[in-house]
Amino acid sequence: METMTKNRMTRLKENVRTELKSRLIPFWTTRVIDQAQGGFMGEMSFEGVVDPRAAKGLILNARLLWTYSALTAYNQDPVCKNLACRAYQYVTTYFTQIKPLVLNLARATLEQGIDLYGGLSYEGQDGKVLHTYRDWWCQAEAVVGFVNAFELTADTHYLKAACDMWQCLERIGMDRQQGEWFWRVTQAGRPDSNESIVSQWKGPYHNVRACLEIVKRLK
């Protein structure tokens, strides 16, 4: 490896370490803790002013939990470990009602979004389907969602929905010639040849992850 390349790598690595140590870690371990109401701040303005009335959502708190846990593994800092425990306690205390939300989503999808062939229409609103075509990522995520709902309830209707959707994918959603999934299939079952097989937005995340999740969950 060239000396210049090695020097650049070393310099970048040290700059990143400095940013973590001198600014990012101090900020997230001191500036966002909500001592008055528990947990963490929900919002801070551009000027650094905290809004004590801001909602505290699951996404921010789940990401804080991941961040503090990852930092604990990175530097074994007891402060980060304590904050990871704080984030875990907050998430498990205030977001335990996520199960009903997940099941409501699965139920609404099953009742309103599934077409006669077992596929999931792309978009709907107010109980009406707006776009009947099927995009690959929606099908992948829906199969996992129905398997998840089956895990939570043991309701075989969700398992059947997952199986039907997978069979629909096998019939018309999978490109048997090239080995990937079609980006989009019309309601009539025709692949949209204007859409790429691989692009910045068409990668392995949704379908490969779906396959791994299903194999892991259906033990």
Q: Is residue 165 predicted with pLDDT exceeding 90? A: yes
Q: Which residue has the higher pLDDT, 218 or 97?
A: 218
103 and 55 within one domain: no
Secondary structure class of 79 (helix, strand, coil): helix
110 and 57 within one domain: no
pLDDT band at residue 126 under the 50/70/90 scheme:
confident
Q: What is the pLDDT of residues 58-115, one digit of tens each?
A: 889 999 999 999 999 999 999 999 999 999 999 989 887 778 888 999 999 999 999 8
The residue from 46, 75, 94 where one domain ends is 94
Note down the domain range covering 59.
Answer: 3-94
169 and 132 within one domain: yes
* Whole-structure pTM value: 0.62
Q: Which residues is 33 bridged to in the sheet?
A: 40
Cα 196 to Cα 18, 119, 182, 200, 212, distances in angstroms? 41, 20, 8, 10, 23
103 and 42 within one domain: no
Structural domain tally of the chain?
Answer: 2
Q: What is the pLDDT of residues 167-209, one digit of tens each?
A: 999 999 999 999 999 999 998 899 999 999 999 999 998 999 9
Secondary structure class of 181 (helix, strand, coil): strand
The residue from 94, 114, 130 where one domain ends is 94
Nearest one of 85, 98, 73 to 149, comparing CA atoms: 98
pLDDT value of position 1: 65
pLDDT value of position 16: 92
Average pLDDT, the chain: 92
